[in-house]
Amino acid sequence: MATLRQLEYLAAVVDTGSFTRAAEQLHVTQPALSHQVRSLEASLGGALLERLPRAVRLTPLGRAVLPHARAVLADAGRLHAAARRASGLAEAELEVATVHSVALGILPPVLRAWRARHPGVRIRLREYPHAELLRAAAATGRADLAVGPLPDDWDGPVRELGVEEFALVLPPDDPLAGAPGGALPLAALADRDWVHYAPGHGLAEVLDAACARAGFTPRAAVRTEQTSAAPALAAAGLGPTLAPATILPAALDAAVLRPDPPVRRTLAAYTRTRPDRLTTAFTDLLAARVRLGG
């Protein structure tokens, strides 16, 4: 049976890339660390690490085991933290994972309200550029709560928060800025160069999918990794962009239109296991404070 110490040693070797550096980090001798890793490999029935001359590399079995090892370690850490909180020995900490646009748009007022109500609870925010990375973080126990696009086939508690609307951003003097009713078909912008998002950014896929439904592939004038930069670049005249309406600053000097048909996605808060009282309280506040459609 694998022990927490053995799983900790495995994760340390992978993170540092070396038995020597892992031993130094953990303040143990290298022979002791190597012995524990070999014992773990024996209990799991195969090699987890390939020992190379100047590095170590995960074997296929190691790649399969490591996410579960990290999840077990994360759960153990939260167990001890919960016990310390119950004993009054430490202040509480809540780990919230999210995607960049949600951290920029809907979370700040929620975090402000949470801080006012629970000043002793620290929030550790983990941000990811793509919903799949967020889902993976939640699945491996790297956060107490994930907040982002509704995941498909999630095996755990999910609470929908509503439907997020996307907006088209154009410079204020664009010829199409005065579209009737404030709505504009994306096809009307098929010949434009767009302010796009970097490959691997979740909003890049949203933009590409919306344009594909309108019958064209958007050409990129510029690509940005920063979610907040896209509306500013569009307002400056580099090209139209598509962004969550929740991230647009009130002072943005731009024409903000509704895409026709609308572009939307459902947001949700979800956990890997049954949430504790602290996580439930944060989720309740999130649901009460977030103002979305749907």
pLDDT tens column, 150-209: 998 898 999 999 999 999 999 999 999 988 889 999 999 999 999 999 999 999 999 999
Q: Which residues pair with 145 in a beta bridge?
A: 96
- Assess whether pLDDT exceeds 70 at residue 223: yes
- What is the arithmetic mean of pLDDT over 21-50? 86
Rounded Cα gap, residues 293 and 111, in angstroms:
21
Q: Chain-centre distance of CA 83, in angstroms?
A: 27
* Coil/strand/helix, residue 117: helix
- Assess whether pLDDT exceeds 90 at residue 275: no
- Assess whether pLDDT exceeds 50 at residue 88: no
Query: Minimal CA–CA distance to 143: which of 97, 112, 102, 106?
Result: 97
Q: Which helix H or strand E contains 165, and what residues bound it?
A: strand 158-170
Rounded Cα gap, residues 129 and 131, in angstroms:
7
Q: What is the pLDDT of residue 104?
A: 94
Which residue is associated with the tokens 């167990």? 79
Rounded Cα gap, residues 198 and 37, in angstroms:
39
- Assess whether pLDDT exceeds 60 at residue 89: no
Which tokens go with 80? 């001890």
Which tokens go with 190? 């098929």
Helices (H) and strands (E) in the chain, counts: 10, 12
Query: Minimal CA–CA distance to 36: which of 14, 62, 68, 4?
Result: 4
Q: Out of 119-123, 145-149, 209-213, which region has the weakest mean confidence (pLDDT)?
A: 119-123
pLDDT in tens, 99-116: 999 999 999 999 999 988
Q: In whole angstroms, how far apart are CA 101 and each of 70, 213, 238?
A: 26, 22, 21
Please give the backbone phi and psi of residue 153, each rounded to the nearest 5 degrees, phi first: 50, 45
pLDDT in tens, 234-267: 999 999 999 999 999 988 999 999 999 999 999 9
pLDDT in tens, 56-79: 888 888 899 899 888 888 888 777
